[in-house]
A = this chain, B = another copy of it.
């Protein structure tokens, strides 16, 4: 994408009206199309149409759909990396770091829902997809390391295998993309009726303390 597009593509035709159109706007529209049609099945013509930009403007700024996919999944990956970067700067016990990473990861998922959803659906058929999956694996590995550290410190139970725990925790968090809707309606017409902060709280509490009523 050219410098001009990154700074906002300027005055372009959209629904017949001139409008400022930033790269973020474009990536948001494109992510929706990828989610609805699937990345493989989406053509540049589909994206140009959905963008509302004139063809010449669209093709001037966009070299291919791979470039747009990279921008979209980078929104998710940069935010997830950010969670661990913040954490690495704090001096705290492993279990508290684990708890905060779970909380922040869930918040990122809710805030960047379409981009995380796209990331989780990648198949790895292209170079851009494989790069993104590699970055995703490195996020998984950092969570696994935190689980391992908390276990070594005796702060979490030692009877569950850390890699398995990591997969189950991220499995629970990532499952949000299947049913969470920002308006609380839930997927398939079954409401979840929960606010974002309730969801984040439930994930962290379930993961650390489980469902059992506390004794005493």
Contacts and interface: CB of A to CB of B under 8 A. Distances in A.
Copies in the complex: 2
User: By CB atoms of chain B within 10 A, which of A163, A199, A208 has the most?
Assistant: A163
Given A156-B213, A157-B214, A211-B156, A168 B172 contact: yes
A49 interface: no
Interface of A: 95, 98, 124, 133, 137, 140, 150, 154-161, 163-165, 167-172, 174-176, 178-179, 186, 188, 190-194, 198-199, 201-203, 205-214
26 contacts: A150-B211, A157-B205, A157-B213, A160-B201, A160-B205, A161-B193, A161-B198, A161-B202, A163-B192, A163-B193, A163-B194, A164-B193, A165-B202, A167-B175, A167-B186, A168-B175, A168-B202, A169-B206, A171-B172, A171-B176, A171-B179, A172-B172, A174-B175, A206-B210, A207-B211, A208-B210
